[in-house]
Amino acid sequence: MGVPDNGEDVGWYEPGTQPGGAGNAVLAGHVDDRTGPAVFFDLGDLEPGDQIFVTGEDGEELEFIVDEMERYPFDDSPVEEIFGPSDEKQLNLITCTGVFNQENGTHEERLVVYTSLVEEEEEEPVLPVPTELTIQGDLLTWHSVRDEEIIGYRIYEIDASGEETHVGSVSQLERKSFLVNDQDTDYTVKAVDHFGNESDPAEEADA
């Protein structure tokens, strides 16, 4: 990986992923230069749990949390671990550390800060709840939910402890009814959308 030719810029490993994408995004910068401290001079002061913010050209800000920090010999770093593929959304920061070796013209170690993207939890959609659950004889019926996102319904038996057991499904295109098997069991119905999300249970219908 090439490094910037000055102490102010940070280099990005372009063959890898961009920060925020799945995989190991890698940024590198100098710890110092001929004039003194450089852009990553304070990188060694970070600790696990610290925050790092990366702002894209579009102004979007990504937050990463420091997982761990490791020092490696400048000529013996775990390249696959730092640059290789990953299912996680990682950002690894690299700079020089340790004693400056005059003969090799570089510091004797590399500091790698491993971080992970902080992702906002997506709120589950609030789906409309089926209404008018009724049991007549051995037939459970309910009113259709008027929502284009709803593709069907799931029917659940409810035991004495309140535990639900899925016993059947009905599509939005079918008649909203279900033949119950146990006359002494309570039932409820939940609406289901395209992504498999369920609504809250409808008011229980007693058998």
Q: Are residues 44 and 136 in the same domain?
A: no
> For the chain, first and last CA: distance in Å?
69
Residues 31 and 91 in one domain: yes
Instruction: For residue 43, give both structure tokens.
Output: 């990188």
Residue 6 lies in a domain: no
CA 52 to chain centre: 17
For residues 25 and 108, membership in a common domain is answered with: yes
Distance of CA 206 to the CA centre of its chain: 40
Domain that holds residue 157: 131-193
The rounded distance, in Å, linking the Cα atoms of 185 and 40 is: 66
Q: What is the DSSP code string of 88-132?
A: SEEEEEEEEEEEEETTTTEEEEEEEEEEEE--PPPPPP-PPPPEE
The CA-based angle 20-23-26, given to 5 degrees, is 75
What CATH number does residue 104 fall under?
2.40.260.10
Domain count, the chain: 2
Q: Which of 61, 85, 117 is the last residue of a domain?
A: 117
CA distances from 95 to 26, 63, 67, 110 (A): 11, 20, 17, 6
Sign of the C-alpha dihedral, residues 181, 183, 185, 188? positive
- Kindly state whether residues 107 and 135 are assigned to the same domain: no
Q: In whole angstroms, what is the distance from residue 1 CA to residue 150 CA?
A: 50
Of 83, 117, 151, which closes a domain?
A: 117
Q: State how far the Cα of 4 lies from the Cα of 2, in Å rounded to an integer.
A: 7
Q: What does the pLDDT profile of the chain (207 residues) look like in tens digits? A: 778 889 899 999 999 899 999 999 999 999 988 888 999 999 999 999 999 999 988 889 999 999 999 999 988 989 999 999 999 999 999 999 877 777 776 778 899 999 999 988 767 778 999 999 999 888 999 999 989 999 999 999 998 898 999 999 999 999 999 998 776 789 999 999 998 999 999 987 665
